[in-house]
Chain A
Amino acid sequence: MGKLIFNYEKCTGCRACELACSFHKEGVFAPSKSRIKIVRIDEEGLDIPIGCEHCDNAPCITACPTRALSRNSETNAIVLNPDFCIGCKQCMVICPFGAIHYNENREIFYKCDLCDGSPECVKWCVTGGIEYYEGIEEFPRRKSADRIQHFLLNLPKSTRSIATGGGNKE
Chain B
Amino acid sequence: MSYAYLFKYIIIGDTGVGKSCLLLQFTDKRFQPVHDLTIGVEFGARMITIDSKQIKLQIWDTAGQEAFRSITRSYYRGAAGALLVYDITRRETFNHLTTWLDDARQHSNSNMVIMLIGNKSDLESRREVKKEEGEAFAREHGLVFMETSAKTAANVEEAFINTAKEIYEKIQEGVFDINNEANGIKIGPQHSPTNPSLPGSGSSGGSQGSGCC
A and B assemble together = no
